[in-house]
Amino acid sequence: MQVQQQGWRERWRGRLQALGPGILMATAAIGGSHLVASTQAGALYGWQLIWLILLVNILKYPFFRFGVQYTLQHNESLLQGYQRKGKAYFYSFIGLNIIAAVVNTAGVLLLTASLLHYALPWPVAVPLLCALILAVCLVILLLGHYRALDKVAKLIMLLLTVATVAAVIIAVSNGSNAPADFAGPSPWQLVSLGFLVALMGWMPAPIEISAISSLWLKAKLRQQTISREQGLFDFNLGYWLTAALALVFVSLGALVQYGSEQDIAMAGAAFAQQLIGMYASTIGDWARPLVALIAFLCMFGTTITVLDGYARTLNESCTLLGWQQPDNRASLSGWLLLQAASGMALILFFQAALGPLLTFAMTLAFLTTPVFAWLNYSLMTGKGDMGLSWPLKLLSWAGLLYLTGFALLFLAWFSGLLS
Q: What is the per-residue pLDDT for 353?
A: 66
6's enclosing H/E stretch is helix 2-18
Environment class of 413 (CB within 10 Å of its CB; exposed 0-12, middle 13-18, buried 19+): middle
Report d(CA 345, CA 146) in Å as an integer.
26
CA 31 to the chain's CA centroid:
6
Reply yes or no on whether the pLDDT at 333 is more than 60: yes
Q: Answer yes or no: CATH 1.20.1740.10 is held by domain 22-414.
A: yes
Q: Which of 12-26, 81-95, 146-160 tops mean pLDDT?
A: 81-95
Any idea which of 61-65, 101-105, 176-180, 300-304 has the lowest mean pLDDT? 176-180
Quick one: pLDDT band at residue 352, thresholds 50, 70, 90? low
Show the CA angle centred on residue 248, arms to residues 242 and 252, nearest 5°: 145
Count other Cβ atoms within 10 Å, centred on residue 348: 12
**What is the predicted pLDDT for the residue at 122?**
80
Residue type, 315: N
CA angle 255, 366, 310 (to 5 degrees): 100
Q: Is 360 exposed, middle or buried (0-12, 13-18, 19+ CB in 10 A)?
A: middle
Task: Band the pLDDT of 382: cuts 50, 70, 90.
Answer: confident
pLDDT band at residue 4, thresholds of 50, 70 and 90? low
